[in-house]
Amino acid sequence: MATCKPLQNPVSSKPDHSPEALLPFFDPHMYRSIAGSLQYLTLTRPDLSYDVNLVCQHMHAPLNQHFKVLKSILRYVQGTLHLVLPITTDKHELIAFVDADWAGDKQDRNSTTGYCIFLGATLISWSTKKQATIARSSTESEYRALTTAVTEIV
């Protein structure tokens, strides 16, 4: 993939539902190895967190469509090698951004929490994670996300 054509977005919004895409991937070990490497990369590339989380949900039984998504993430990384996290020593103001989608997962209706915490201009913590229980309203999913971020800050 070192000479692949780069992409501007890591994942296509239209999943592939062709019969071939729904077959099991021929080498699950390779799928898990690449997905694990991308998981490690999210430590310095928070823009990949959500998409890597999606592919990691299928590590136990990946399909061809999941490997196609994995390859598109690698193509996105190829096109964005210049992106880095700035580490500055200017001001030491703590700022957090939190968001949640309400019932965003169409299969189990769980919401997804996302937050990022900055110290000045330096990103010091971030997370994207599915909430453990189903929220009854968008307000409830937002409060759960806020609680998770505040817990991280404390």
Which residues touch 122 (CB under 8 Å, ≥6 apart)? 85, 86, 87, 88
Q: Domain ranges in the chain?
A: 1-83, 94-153
Q: How many CB atoms lie within 10 A of CB 141?
A: 24
Cα 81 to Cα 74: distance, rounded to the nearest angstrom: 11
Token pair 């190895």 is found at 33
Cα 141 to Cα 103: distance, rounded to the nearest angstrom: 8
pTM: 0.65
CA atoms within 13 A on the CB side of 147: 7
Residue-wise pLDDT tens digits, 51-84 = 998 899 999 999 999 999 999 999 999 999 888 7
Residue-wise pLDDT tens digits, 89-111 = 778 899 999 999 988 877 888 99
User: What is the widest separation between alpha-carbon atoms in the chain?
Assistant: 55
Cα 86 to Cα 65: distance, rounded to the nearest angstrom: 34
User: With left for phi above 0 and alpha for psi between -120 and 50, is residue 103 left, alpha or beta?
Assistant: left
Residue-wise pLDDT tens digits, 20-50 = 988 999 999 999 999 999 998 887 788 888 8
